[in-house]
Amino acid sequence: MKLKFLENINEYDEHAVRLNDFDKTQAAMFLQILNDLTTNAGQFINLSDYEFIEPINCELILRISETDEGIITEDNTHFFCDLTLEAYTKMIKLIEPFCIRETDAYRILYDLDNPIDFIFSAGKENEIMNP
């Protein structure tokens, strides 16, 4: 599983942090990370701490927040995903199908008015998400 920041993915100057290039086993491992986060709501999780996640050009820390802010950064290298417990629970539901069978599908993991999307893409590369 690779973690990468994608700059200017469309004509609206939007960006994305993408987890891609994984199989159903790694999807299940990521799902467990989210389950751990939602169970221990006071905690945060740095995805770079997990051996099965290869950070390419960024670091992403998941945190439970009082409001849904989405992914934020000050330097385009260190990112924080601040979402409510409810939003992470919805994210778990979006990821569950990736744990059942192999696929090349992708999902945007939250729908917020935020210039940085969070993309979960099983395939190695996707032209739309790899400018």
The secondary structure of 45-81 as a DSSP string is EEGGGSTT-EESS-EEEEEE-SS--EEEESSSSEEEE
The total of structural domains in the chain comes to 1
pLDDT over 70, % of the chain: 94
Those residues with Cβ within 8 angstroms of residue 11's Cβ, 6 or more apart along the chain or in another chain: none
The closest of 81, 93, 25, 92 to 48, measured between CA atoms, is 81
- pLDDT given for residue 127 in this prediction: 42
For residues 85, 80, 91, 53, the Cα torsion angle rounded to the nearest 10 degrees is -130
Q: How many CB atoms lie within 10 A of CB 87?
A: 20
Domain that holds residue 50: 2-129
pLDDT over 90, % of the chain: 85
Q: Round to whole Å and give the CA distance between 17 and 60.
A: 8
- pLDDT given for residue 41 in this prediction: 65
CATH number at residue 84: 3.30.1360
Model pLDDT for residues 61-117, shown as the tens digit of each residue: 999 999 999 999 999 999 999 999 999 999 999 999 999 999 889 999 999 999 999
β-bridge pairing 2-6 and 54-55? parallel
